[in-house]
């Protein structure tokens, strides 16, 4: 059985969207919807994780993901510890020793971002019973909360997944986001998931991912309802995979005019950080089709949902008197 699911079929850790039961994914979205309601009020805090400690353990840089995990934990009234591990100056301590020390401080949850694929699962296999691990991005492998906040944003703008054509454009090869999105969107019943990229930016196992592959941007965008741009992840590229940024923009950059072949109501998304003029033009990123900032806002509700689910806390649980 998968390490992230317990004997009752509930979420115990959140490491990947791959192989997850569509009902569980739907429950994440529904729970997030209830938290989005809370976040719309003037008092945005609920006491569901009061007394619990969440440790944000980031071995790689992050802006949106780390801060929205922190806000999510604070909105749930948890105590939050933010640890940015500078891997160049660690004093030789092993991951396991670091984990044991943090557990000795009675942490209830670790939010882990690491440059190595499989790091979050390693943590999940070694934490004490009752301690949960959330994957905030491991190498090229998975970024499940990003995929779920994207799914949440799509559902809010478009409703049901079944009729949707979703096109993901850009550096698929190095993108943990794209992998998690493809698994989640397919499980949620999307009509068609497409990836659009030059051959050098496609992963070797692209044919097994469950997406239609396009190398021509116009063909891939035709009638798309949702268009997701990805950043060129140069920090993960070895050697010259690209002729240059302006050449890349000419062939794969998203612009208003390029979007003409997509559905007239198509929305444009990006997990951030965006590189204007490389994968997306400013007019499109800031224009009426763009839901890029909604994605950031929605990340808080989705992360609140996952945090309560892995600790077995339900939003409708009666609140203890304060
Ligand atoms: C992504 C990541 O870190 O995988 N960003 C994010 O979490 N919002 C994508 C990227 O870095 O390009």
Do 136 and 202 sit in the same domain of this protein?
A: no
Residue 36 burial (CB count, 10 A): 18
The domain in which residue 65 lies consists of 22-142+297-310
pTM above 0.85, yes or no: yes
CA-angle at 18, arms to 229 and 52, nearest 5°: 95
Q: Is residue 253 part of a domain?
A: yes
Q: Is residue 315 part of a domain?
A: no
Q: 143: Cβ below 6 Å to ligand 1?
A: yes
Closest ligand 1 atom to Cα of 137 = 4
Closest ligand 1 atom to Cα of 146 = 7
Please state, in angstroms and rounded to a whole number, the distance separating the CA atoms of residues 249 and 243: 11
Q: 144: Cβ below 6 Å to ligand 1?
A: no
CB 166 within 8 A of CB 192: yes
Do 174 and 224 sit in the same domain of this protein?
A: yes
Do 274 and 302 sit in the same domain of this protein?
A: no
Q: Is residue 14 part of a domain?
A: no
Closest ligand 1 atom to Cα of 171 = 12
Q: Name the region of 206 (left: φ>0; alpha: ψ -120 to 50; beta: rest).
A: alpha
Do 273 and 304 sit in the same domain of this protein?
A: no
Q: Is residue 234 part of a domain?
A: yes
pLDDT tens sequence for the chain (322 residues):
589 999 999 999 999 999 999 999 999 999 999 999 999 899 999 999 999 999 999 999 899 999 999 999 999 999 999 998 876 556 778 888 889 999 999 999 999 999 999 999 999 999 999 999 999 999 999 999 999 999 999 999 999 999 999 999 999 999 999 999 999 999 999 999 999 999 999 999 999 999 999 999 999 999 999 999 999 988 888 766 777 888 999 999 999 999 999 999 999 999 999 999 999 999 999 999 999 999 999 999 999 999 999 999 988 754 444 3
Strand partners, 11: 5
Do 188 and 237 sit in the same domain of this protein?
A: yes
Please state, in angstroms and rounded to a whole number, the distance separating the CA atoms of residues 50 and 32: 19
Which CATH number goes with the domain that contains 36?
3.40.50.1370
Please state, in angstroms and rounded to a whole number, the distance separating the CA atoms of residues 170 and 201: 7
Do 26 and 137 sit in the same domain of this protein?
A: yes
Do 278 and 138 sit in the same domain of this protein?
A: no
Count of domains forming the chain: 2
Q: Is residue 1 part of a domain?
A: no
Q: Is residue 223 part of a domain?
A: yes
Mention every residue, 6+ apart, whose C-beta is less than 8 A from residue 236.
140, 174
Do 251 and 303 sit in the same domain of this protein?
A: no
- Could you check whether the bond before residue 189 is cis, i.e. omega within 30 degrees of 0? no
- Residue 137 Cα to ligand 1 midpoint, Å, equals 8
Please state, in angstroms and rounded to a whole number, the distance separating the CA atoms of residues 196 and 89: 39
């Amino acid at each position: 059985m998968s390490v992230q699911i317990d004997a009752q079929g509930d979420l115990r850790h959140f490491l990947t969207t791959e192989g997850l039961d569509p009902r569980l994914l739907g429950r994440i979205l529904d729970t997030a919807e209830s938290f989005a309601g809370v976040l719309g009020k003037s008092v945005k805090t609920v006491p569901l994780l009061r007394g619990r400690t969440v440790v944000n353990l980031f071995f790689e840089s992050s802006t949106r993901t780390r801060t929205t995990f922190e806000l999510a934990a604070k909105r749930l009234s948890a105590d939050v510890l933010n640890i940015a591990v500078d891997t160049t100056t660690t004093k030789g301590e092993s991951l396991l020793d670091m984990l044991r020390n943090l557990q000795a401080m009675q942490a209830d949850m670790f939010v882990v971002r690491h440059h190595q694929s499989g790091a979050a699962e390693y943590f999940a296999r070694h934490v004490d019973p009752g301690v949960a691990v959330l994957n905030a991005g491991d190498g090229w492998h998975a970024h499940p909360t990003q995929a779920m906040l994207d799914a949440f944003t799509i559902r809010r703008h478009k409703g049901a997944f079944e009729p949707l054509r979703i096109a993901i454009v850009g550096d698929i090869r190095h993108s943990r986001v794209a992998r998690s999105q493809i698994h989640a969107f397919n499980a949620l019943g999307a009509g068609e998931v497409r990836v659009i990229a030059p051959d050098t930016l496609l992963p070797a196992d692209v044919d097994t991912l469950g997406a239609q592959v396009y190398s021509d941007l116009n063909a891939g965008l035709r009638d798309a309802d949702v268009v997701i741009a990805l950043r060129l992840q140069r920090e993960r590229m070895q050697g010259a995979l690209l002729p240059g940024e302006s050449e890349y923009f000419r062939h794969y950059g998203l612009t208003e005019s390029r979007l003409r072949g997509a559905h007239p109501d198509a929305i444009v998304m990006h997990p951030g950080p965006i590189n204007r003029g490389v994968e997306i033009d400013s007019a499109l990123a800031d224009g009426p089709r763009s839901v890029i900032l909604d994605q950031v806002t929605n990340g808080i509700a989705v992360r609140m949902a996952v945090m309560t689910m892995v600790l077995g806390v339900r939003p409708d649980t009666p609140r203890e008197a304060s």
